[in-house]
Amino acid sequence: MLAAIEAGGTKFVCAVGDEKGNIVERIQIPTTVPEETIPRVVEFFRKYQVDAIGIGSFGPIDVNQESPTYGYITSTPKTGWKNYPFVQALKDAFHVPVGFNTDVNAAALGEATFGAAKGLDSCLYTTVGTGIGAGAIVQGQLLQGFSHPEMGHTLVRRHPNDSYQGKCPYHHDCLEGLASGPAIEERWGAKGADLVKRTEVWDLEGYYLAQAIMQYILILSPKKIILGGGVSHQEQVYTSIYKYLPELINGYVALPDLTSYIVRPGLGDDAGITGALMLAHRAL
């Protein structure tokens, strides 16, 4: 039996399943502090004969296996989780192999294995919600260097009519600072779900996301781009991206049909947890 954890800033999704992506049981646990959350995770998995564990985690995290802090959540602002030895905590509890990567890399792996990018050797998965992150598969492998990608913090050009200072505590007006869910709420004074009829909200959102997607295309040239997270549920975001992206590219490279190239997750909200199962399978 494979165990999977999709560790988010607000909740942990834990599941057990198999290498085909079949989920036997899952639960959600609030992300509070490690001393409260991790014992509940362990208690859930104790019901099963766990052979390996896969973790797709919020970050930043240390994914360099040669590093003394491999398996740690590192510089997160999330209370109680900074410098937390996530992998070691699970190894101590179960003594099985643990696969560890970012939540968005896990989602990219899930989508490449069973979802919208199935059969392709490259894709990019980006989530737009409480934060913005992106993971990528390149030539069949998860993209990783000395660390993992943090594409949600790429710099974008500010819209001439946008005076909002930005929400990111590190960079202020990076992509996450200007286009995440909290940025939308702070700029417009309401949650995204309450702004559905405000076309200017989603036109501006697409303006920033199209800039980031342009950079992803020019740097990685993924064969499919998958847009997840709460903000991606707004249909108007896609319309805006489809409008601005060709203008930005300006004929420099030929773009595929955008309606079949920039798409929703084929696995829906299961992309991350399915990818975590695949991380467990790889670790095993």
**Neighbour tally for 27: CB within 10 Å:** 14
Q: Which contacts (CB < 8 Å, 24+ apart) does range 190-193 have? A: 192/230, 192/231, 192/234
Q: What is the band of 156 on the pLDDT scale with cuts at 50, 70, 90?
A: very high
The residue segments making up the domain with residue 232 are 116-264
Is the separation of the CB atoms in 166 and 198 below 8 Å? no
- Residues 49, 162 within the same domain: no
Evaluate whether residue 111 is within a structural domain: no
- Residues 82, 129 within the same domain: no
CA distance 33 to 38: 8
- Residues 83, 137 within the same domain: no
Task: Look at residue 10 in the predicted model and tell me its pLDDT.
Answer: 87
Does the pLDDT value for residue 277 go beyond 80?
Answer: yes
Sign of CA dihedral 74, 129, 249, 218: positive
Name the DSSP letter for residue 242: H
Evaluate whether residue 273 is within a structural domain: no
CA distance 188 to 147: 34
Tokens 């992206």 sit on residue: 245
pLDDT digits (tens, 9 = 90+) for 222-235: 999 999 998 888 99
Evaluate whether residue 29 is within a structural domain: yes
- Residues 35, 125 within the same domain: no
Which of 39, 73, 102 is at the close of a domain? 102
Give the DSSP H or E segment for 55.
strand 52-57
Longest dimension (CA), the chain: 57
Evaluate whether residue 178 is within a structural domain: yes
- Residues 153, 178 within the same domain: yes
Cβ density class 16-26: b for 16+ within 10 Å, e for less: bbeeebeeeee
- Quick check: bond before 60 cis, omega within 30? yes
pLDDT digits (tens, 9 = 90+) for 38-82: 999 999 999 999 999 999 999 899 999 999 999 999 988 788 999
Evaluate whether residue 90 is within a structural domain: yes
- Residues 121, 88 within the same domain: no
Which of 102, 127, 148 is at the close of a domain? 102
Evaluate whether residue 107 is within a structural domain: no
Evaluate whether residue 272 is within a structural domain: no
Name the DSSP letter for residue 155: B
- Residues 66, 131 within the same domain: no
Evaluate whether residue 19 is within a structural domain: yes
For 66, residues 6+ apart whose C-beta sits below 8 A from its C-beta are none
pTM above 0.75, yes or no: yes
% of the chain residues with pLDDT over 70: 100
Which of 102, 135, 160 is at the close of a domain? 102
**CATH at residue 97:** 3.30.420.40
- Residues 94, 122 within the same domain: no
- Residues 141, 248 within the same domain: yes
CA distance 101 to 59: 9
Domain count of the fold of the chain: 2
Which of 142-151, 152-161, 178-187 shows the lowest per-residue confidence on average (mean pLDDT)? 142-151
CA distance 95 to 97: 7
